[in-house]
Structure 1
Amino acid sequence: MNSAQGLLSPHDRPTAAWSTVAGRLGESTMGDVLRWGAGGSVNFAGGFPDERLFPMWHVQDALDDVLARHGSQALQYGSAQGAEWVREAVAGHLERRGVLTSPRTMLLTSGAQQAIDLVTRLYVDPGDVVVTTSPTYFAALELFEAAGAEIVTVPLDERGLDLDRLDAALGDPRAKVCYLITDHQNPTGISLPAEQRPLIADLMRRHACHLIEDDVFGDIAFEPPAPPIQRWAPDRVSYVTSFSKGLSPGLRTGVLAAPADVIGKALALRENTDVCPNTLAHAVAGELLRSGAYHRLLPRLCARYRTRRDALLASLERHLAGRAHWTTARGGFFTWVTLDTATDAEELLKAAARSGVVFLPGSRFRRGGEPEGVQPEGGKPDGGKRAELRLSCARLEPTEIEEGIGRLAGLV
């Protein structure tokens, strides 16, 4: 039962038939993520930034500056595309990441998820194919399923994508959209190799396919990332990012940088849904970019998250060496753990939750009948169904990480 349906009494439920889209909606993994972690659990499940690291005073100063400089305009309805001065500040930031864009070819959205949704609605009809990696971000999979797409996956490991498999998948005439997370992928932490990126751009052109390039973790980097795929095919790529991880998810500042025709169509869709972005919140984010405060804050933030990643890797080595293998992310929040023996990850989660530890099972990031096991070099299959776990330590201190991994190891 969908969690929203559970809030309605039988007499309150609609008498008319659900739409086709509503009928496809099921339980949301995001709902589990929001619920877990209560009651003192060591929460490896959520992909949320640590609220203790939010730049509270900088946000307050930016808000004061916005109200002083822009007054009532910041509280009024605004352009559906986002205020031009904010887009200029965002464009400057994206240029530092290697994105080819301008204020004209950019749309500010309510988080990255809205940007992915807009592009999906522009391109995907029921029965079309969306090509993506296995595993990949669960909320994108749920969005594509709601659109009626058939999801075709290509294996991903620490060496990158199987480009021959990607070429074959894109060769299906129904394949209109490809979705890839370029850096510090959710859920594996893997970044696509620099040498693969121009080759992927070539495949998009050859197959006349549109790429949604998700780079929401690009700013949380522990070493300099490679340029995005968009740089080699700006006419074939909708580049999506947000400031939720490096600044604050509550500001809901997402970005869609795309060809002008995509932006034009997306504007028409956005005007029929939420009319315009949150002008005040986006102005605050724009001021933090314009003043340089955001870029001064990032190195400290990345250092804190790197310390937590290192603590997680050290705990895994102490408690699970020889019984599991895992990825080493170069940024972001996630580590992907694969047990070396056959285990049911959903059953392990139930036992772990009773012991005060939660994580997300790997099955939430895959679709139907796919082989399990992102294989870091040195990984060894055993022929059984191996448990896959997505662990996030973004909100945990090293002592909490050690306690949580110790509890989890006792159940394996």
Structure 2
Amino acid sequence: MSDPIDEAALSGGTAAEIALSVERAISAGRLAAGARLPTVRGLAARLAVSPATVNAAYRTLRNRGLVAAAGRAGTRVLERTAPANRALGAPVGPGVRDLADGNPDPALLPPLRPALAKLSGRQWLYGEAGALPALLDWFRLDFERDGLAAEHLAVAGGAMDAIERVLQAHLWPGDAVIVEDPAFSGVLDLVAALGLRPIAVPVDDDGLRADLLQRALEQRPAACVLTPRAQNPTGAALSPERAAELRKVFQRHENVLLIEDDHAAAIAGTEPETVAGKGEFRHWAVIRSVTKYLGPDLRLSVVSGDQFTVDRVLRRQQVGAGWASRLLQELAVTILLDPATPKLLTTACETYRERRRVLADALGRRGITLSGRSGFNGWIPTPAEGAVAQALLARGWAVRTGEAFRTNVPPGLRVTFANLSPAEAEDFAATLHSISQGDGRGYPA
């Protein structure tokens, strides 16, 4: 049974006013996740409005992804309702090693100063701004070198900006979207913010599980967001066999929009695999970003997709942001075309791959599993993620609990090892092993 709700928080005389009062109560914490809203007739009687008005308010809340109807269990507040209330990252105090931030190693990013000195200094004006041809040319070659279609391209902000634009090009509030489980927390928050309904499908080290995908597709989703490699938080990467399996399943559901978030392509550490990127599907998009290997502040990504999707993204961009900063585009392409950059990216890729191996070996010798084989994040299953994370913090290690990433899968920890030295990997593994042996079941003593 859920806790009693603060019915005084619900007010209004119209559907819009009632929906707004519920949303404000959720944001203020007066309605907790799982709380059951009053029955339609009960709230209508208390507010002296018609049941149809309350029904309309509840429908609006469902379309915004704030509540869900649960049959006889009534209408309940969903778990992910206020992403703005969650800090992007808790500050780590002195003496604590940060494995929680999800950042690349700054030492492996190309230097900005030489590239900044080469910029033209030109001011771009209204009417002449847009995609920089040199940047589009670089990405077109990048896509085509990996066997992906690249006839229609658009430049957006980072990968999340591109995912949002592609989803909005096709979907409406209330539509269902297949997401990974666990998934990048930003994707889950974006789906909730757009009023979309997530359908979680588990991932393993080879990516989205094809054997569970068909059941999800029976719920008639409008889209699917998947990560072909460097999956965050698990480090999963599509194998050729898994990509072929997924492609075969999706071919029976041609109306599903496929979005591939290939955000770490250049430094992912595995060969490129794709489900949708060869252009065989009706609506699709593959997104590549520069933020993981040029720097998080270079908020740029390029979308390759079918003509209809890319055209819609561009038209929507024109009436909003207008264009992605030409200054950032010029800076990015200057770095990408620098003769020294390919070697820097290769070094970064090999370094992340080695740091994953070292940490996985250190944990494995102690009977602890680190998931994945690509990128610089990994997932460590644990039955008590919160307690283990707190115990690690007390011993000088900050990690992310899995709560923000998972929907139905068991608990775990997200660890970022981008700049973890071999000695630190051994120390972290020993500390985690000591904590996990607290009561013999993975719970700290």
1: distance between equivalents of 2:206 and 2:416?
A: 22
Counterpart among 331, 334, 345 of residue 385 in structure 2: 345
Tell me the CA shift for residue 93 of structure 1.
Answer: 1.8
CA contact (8 A) 2:284 2:309 kept: no
Q: RMSD over aligned Cα, in angstroms?
A: 2.6
Q: Give the match for residue 83 of structure 1.
A: 132
CA contact (8 A) 2:171 2:222 kept: yes
Kindly indicate whether residue 117 of structure 2 is the aligned counterpart of residue 64 of structure 1: yes
Tell me the CA shift for residue 354 of structure 1.
Answer: 2.2
Kindly indicate whether residue 403 of structure 2 is the aligned counterpart of residue 363 of structure 1: yes
Cα displacement string for residues 149-208 of structure 1 (whole angstroms, at most 9, x for unaligned residues): 2111222223544324212322333x1000110112111111122123234234334211
**1:326 to 1:400, Cα distance in 2 relative to 1, 3 A:** closer
Q: How does 1:158-173 map to 2 (within 5 A)?
A: 158-173=205-220
**1:94 to 1:121, Cα distance in 2 relative to 1, 3 A:** same
Q: Secondary structure of the equivalent of 1:151?
A: strand
Letter in 1 for 2:422: P
Kindly indicate whether residue 233 of structure 2 is the aligned counterpart of residue 209 of structure 1: no
1: distance between equivalents of 2:240 and 2:279?
A: 12
1: distance between equivalents of 2:134 and 2:102?
A: 30
1: distance between equivalents of 2:209 and 2:103?
A: 30
Q: Secondary structure of the equivalent of 1:31?
A: coil
Letter in 1 for 2:347: R
Q: How does 1:260-409 map to 2 (within 5 A)?
A: 260-318=307-365, 320-321=366-367, 324-329=368-373, 331-339=374-382, 343-367=383-407, 370-372=408-410, 387-409=411-433
Q: Secondary structure of the equivalent of 1:249?
A: coil
2: distance between equivalents of 1:138 and 1:165?
A: 21
Q: Give the match for residue 142 of structure 1.
A: 189
CA contact (8 A) 1:82 1:276 kept: yes
Cα displacement string for residues 272-304 of structure 1 (whole angstroms, at most 9, x for unaligned residues): 332211211111111233344432321111122
1: distance between equivalents of 2:156 and 2:264?
A: 16
Cα displacement string for residues 353-377 of structure 1 (whole angstroms, at most 9, x for unaligned residues): 222212122232122xx242xxxxx
Tell me the CA shift for residue 143 of structure 1.
Answer: 0.4
**Alignment length (residue pairs):** 364
Counterpart among 178, 181, 199 of residue 227 in structure 2: 181
Tell me the CA shift for residue 349 of structure 1.
Answer: 1.6
Cα displacement string for residues 239-269 of structure 1 (whole angstroms, at most 9, x for unaligned residues): 1120111111111121111112212211222
2: distance between equivalents of 1:221 and 1:185?
A: 9
CA contact (8 A) 2:205 2:236 kept: yes
1: distance between equivalents of 2:314 and 2:239?
A: 33
Counterpart among 38, 55, 73 of residue 110 in structure 2: 55
**1:64 to 1:142, Cα distance in 2 relative to 1, 3 A:** same
**1:76 to 1:248, Cα distance in 2 relative to 1, 3 A:** farther
Q: Secondary structure of the equivalent of 2:87?
A: helix
CA contact (8 A) 2:288 2:301 kept: yes
Cα displacement string for residues 201-252 of structure 1 (whole angstroms, at most 9, x for unaligned residues): 3433421100110111222233433355412535432111201111111111
Q: Secondary structure of the equivalent of 1:126?
A: coil
2: distance between equivalents of 1:263 and 1:225?
A: 22
**1:79 to 1:136, Cα distance in 2 relative to 1, 3 A:** farther
CA contact (8 A) 1:234 1:258 kept: no
Tell me the CA shift for residue 114 of structure 1.
Answer: 0.2
Kindly indicate whether residue 77 of structure 2 is the aligned counterpart of residue 31 of structure 1: no
Q: Give the match for residue 190 of structure 1.
A: 236
2: distance between equivalents of 1:86 and 1:316?
A: 41
Q: Give the match for residue 113 of structure 1.
A: 160
2: distance between equivalents of 1:78 and 1:360?
A: 44
Counterpart among 203, 211, 230 of residue 156 in structure 1: 203
**1:96 to 1:40, Cα distance in 2 relative to 1, 3 A:** farther
Cα displacement string for residues 297-346 of structure 1 (whole angstroms, at most 9, x for unaligned residues): 2111112212321221132134x32xx323241x211222123xxx3211
Q: Secondary structure of the equivalent of 1:130?
A: strand
Q: Which runs of 5+ in 2 are unaligned?
A: 1-19, 25-60, 67-79, 437-445
Cα displacement string for residues 90-130 of structure 1 (whole angstroms, at most 9, x for unaligned residues): 2112222322103xx11111110100111122222222110
TM-score (structure 1 length as normaliser): 0.80
2: distance between equivalents of 1:290 and 1:350?
A: 45
Letter in 1 for 2:434: G
2: distance between equivalents of 1:29 and 1:139?
A: 13
CA contact (8 A) 2:246 2:275 kept: no
Letter in 2 for 1:333: F
Q: Secondary structure of the equivalent of 1:189?
A: coil
Letter in 2 for 1:179: V
**1:358 to 1:294, Cα distance in 2 relative to 1, 3 A:** same
2: distance between equivalents of 1:366 and 1:189?
A: 14
Larger Rg: 2
* Higher RCO (C-alpha 8 Å, min separation 6): 1
Percent identity over the alignment? 27
Q: How does 1:224-243 map to 2 (within 5 A)?
A: 224-227=271-274, 229-231=276-278, 233=280, 235-243=282-290
**1:238 to 1:349, Cα distance in 2 relative to 1, 3 A:** same
Kindly indicate whether residue 144 of structure 2 is the aligned counterpart of residue 100 of structure 1: no
